[in-house]
Structure 1
Amino acid sequence: MNTTSTSSTQPKDSKISVDYFIGCLLGALLGDCIGALFEGQQDVPMESVEDLFQDLTNEDLTLDQLVPLEFTDDTAMLKSVAESLIRNKCFNARDVANTFVSEYFESPKRGYGGSVVDVFVKLKKDKVSDPFQPAREQFNGSGSYGNGGAMRIAPVALFAHGNIEHMLDIAAQTTKITHTHRLAVHGALLQTLAVHQALVADKSKLIDTKIFLSELKEKMKSIEQNLDEE
């Protein structure tokens, strides 16, 4: 795998509407902002979520009457991935890492976990000489198996949707800047596949969730077997 940069091989005849790209990113943002209100709660009554949505869609309420929504580190890092891919027109590990670091130090109070902050501090200190080294060193060399890769991965699925192998390679490398444990990488790959599968689905039909999940499991099973053999 190329750990520095990889060019996009997206097909020129791709006709996926930009509306789906916008919808994916806005959906991730909204989910992050709403989910943040309930983070840390063991039990979240469905009524609480429904009441929140009713308020958000109530045109009679003014902004100062609504519960303020703020995005977390999930969106901050997702945005960083998207910005880097757009800026470079390819995956560039050092640029992604630099963007993560800049975003964190500009706005640190987004709910970042302590482990990833340690990575950013080391990356900044070493001027991102090796974008992967700080993450590799964590937890006695086993790396973090948190969900940090998965939570920010949507732009990768959009950027490289025309080539699944290339898409998964970028997803893995993007994740390893902060999370190197195989479970963290596999989780990010699973989320990438889920976004991709929704993106290319037949939009004239409602998605059958059972079929969607079944297909996703089969794809992931094959990927995990291949990765474990490497």
Structure 2
Amino acid sequence: MLGAIIGDIVGSVYEFDNIKTKDFPLFREDCRFTDDTVMTIAVRNALRIYDKEKDIQSFQAALIAEMQRLGRKYADRGYGGRFAKWLWMEDPKPYGSYGNGAAMRVSPVGEYASSLEEALKLAKASALVSHDHPEGIKGAQAAAAAVFLARQEGWGKARIKNFIEGEFYRLDFTLAEIRETYTFDVSCQGSVPQALACFFEGESFEDVIRNCISIGGDCDTTAAIAGSIAEGYYGLPEEIVERARTYLGEIEEEM
């Protein structure tokens, strides 16, 4: 989860000011956590309920409650228009979204799951409360599966990539090929494959994050997705964790 939060914080200042290079200060004074962090924490908190009851409906009810509670508490963190309305509904329903919000918040599922099957089941359940379009579910499941597999012994990058390409997305491009032309895209199908590619081409946790910023687009979200996978694969440099924590403030108490 911290890998996702770090990616979100680093990418926050480049989301609407793309730079198309890997040469940049990892943290700037104006960095901040965004909706990616808030909703990731909400998923983690809802999983605590699931851990006690092992019931999908209870998990989804807890997730809705936590997303609304934290979303309302941190209402200025850059939510999409329809999701911002969802956060304040008395009886929120899914609205057919295939936005990348389903994928950017799902990393705690990949960390928590005891099997790939459980990761996919929980990822789908987490998406369905708001992002119930097949592409929204697909994005959440691909991200959660990658997080889960990155943490398993014997699953190198080539094996993980083969699984992702067999089940979810063709990754038949390189970052160099898309860097100049890739633009802002908040759909799962237009950002999750790119986030995955950033992980597969990365050489360290930090390099994965830099890859995401360098291709532009919705880079706080792609960095959150790729960062959560890279955390499981590489671990987290302590100095980066400590720097990121300085941007969290009181929300760290919710983790």
Give the structure-2-normalised TM-score: 0.59
Indicate if the aligned counterparts of 1:77 and 1:152 stay in contact, CA closer than 8 A.
Answer: yes
Larger radius of gyration: 1
| 1:121 Cα deviation from its structure 2 partner | 1.9
CA gap 1:211/1:88 in 2 versus in 1, 3 angstroms: closer
Question: C-alpha separation between the residues in 2 aligned to 1:71 and 1:149?
Answer: 17
| 1:67 Cα deviation from its structure 2 partner | 1.6
Computed over aligned residues only, the root mean square deviation of the Cα atoms, in angstroms, reads: 2.1
Q: Which residues of 2 match residues 35-54 of structure 1 at below 5 A?
A: 35-48=11-24, 52-53=25-26
Indicate if the aligned counterparts of 1:38 and 1:44 stay in contact, CA closer than 8 A.
Answer: no
Question: C-alpha separation between the residues in 1 aligned to 2:21 and 2:107?
Answer: 28
Q: Which residues of 2 match residues 14-93 of structure 1 at below 5 A?
A: 25-48=1-24, 52-53=25-26, 67-89=29-51, 90=54, 91=56, 92-93=59-60
Gaps of at least 5 residues in structure 2 are 170-255
Gaps of at least 5 residues in structure 1 are 1-24, 57-65, 222-230
Determine if the alignment matches structure 1 residue 177 to structure 2 residue 144: no
Higher relative contact order (CA 8 A, sep 6+): 2
Aligned residues: 164
Q: Which residues of 2 match residues 102-113 of structure 1 at below 5 A?
A: 102-113=69-80
Determine if the alignment matches structure 1 residue 144 to structure 2 residue 97: yes
- Per-residue CA deviations over 1:12-69 (Å, capped at 9, x if unaligned) read xxxxxxxxxxxxx221111110011100234432222xxx13xx5xxxxxxxxx5243
Give structure 1 regions of 4+ aligned residues with deviation exceeding 4 angstroms. Answer: none
SS of the aligned residue for 1:47 comes to: coil
Give the structure-1-normalised TM-score: 0.65
Indicate if the aligned counterparts of 2:98 and 2:132 stay in contact, CA closer than 8 A.
Answer: yes
% of aligned pairs identical?
A: 27
| 1:154 Cα deviation from its structure 2 partner | 0.7
